[in-house]
Structure 1
Amino acid sequence: MTIKDMKKILLNYVAYDIPVIGLIVSLLAIFFFVFIKGGNLLSVRLYLFLPLIVSDAIAMPFWIFNLIKN
């Protein structure tokens, strides 16, 4: 495995897998806190989307890099 292959794997991991993980964590948190615990406040709902927002913010530079590279 060359450095170029490792760079490609890391780039794909950060650009695609981290946002999917953030989405899964957000959906599980919404299911638990809204449907099971009954938290219907707007602040609760906004707080539950933080994993998705942060993971997208982490991946955004890599999305831009992929667009420029291709």
Structure 2
Amino acid sequence: MNDFMTPLIYLSTVSKFPVAIALKMATDASSGFVPWNQTIAMSLIALVPSLVLFFSASRNFVDGMSAGGIKG
């Protein structure tokens, strides 16, 4: 889940890196400057598909949890 080094070892192309590594690579480590506005914008863009999926399927999530909790 919190694996950061494995994609760096196994993936050879930058276009296949996960979002966490892309966000880390976007910061300039050599100068210590972090472009917070770009980092927050990239985080928001990465978060939107998960939010859309959650809100579109939230009824199914709740129905599944309540059906699984009923004994009988």
Does the TM-score normalized on the shorter chain lie above 0.5? no
Identify, as 1 or 2, the structure richer in helix: 1
Q: TM-score, normalised by structure 2?
A: 0.43
Select the structure with the greater relative contact order (CA < 8 A; seq sep ≥ 6): 1
Greater Cα radius of gyration, structure 1 or 2: 2
Q: TM-score, normalised by structure 1?
A: 0.44
